[in-house]
Amino acid sequence: MGMKNRTALVTGGTRGIGRAIAIDLKKAGCKVIASYHGNEEAAQAFKKETGIEVMRFDVADFEQCQHAVRRIESEIS
């Protein structure tokens, strides 16, 4: 099955391995959201460079994760 019409949330997706995964998923046809926790400026630069949506939340916080997934389901997907 292809990646078209799929949505991927890549945690830590604005740098390092997560960045590479997010970019490859986008190239494969996925709608990608890259989460980040800290550096707003770097995340916005990543978004501008790649066209990949970014979302700030702490993956160690269950409630923040729930909120992010609900937001993705209703607004982004």
* 49-65 residue pLDDT tens: 999 999 999 999 999 99
pLDDT tens digits for 12-69? 999 999 999 999 999 999 999 999 998 999 999 999 999 999 999 999 999 999 999 9
Buried b (16+ CB within 10 A) or exposed e, 45-69: ebeeebebbbbebeeeeeeebeebe
pLDDT confidence band for 2 (50 / 70 / 90): low
Whole-prediction pTM: 0.87
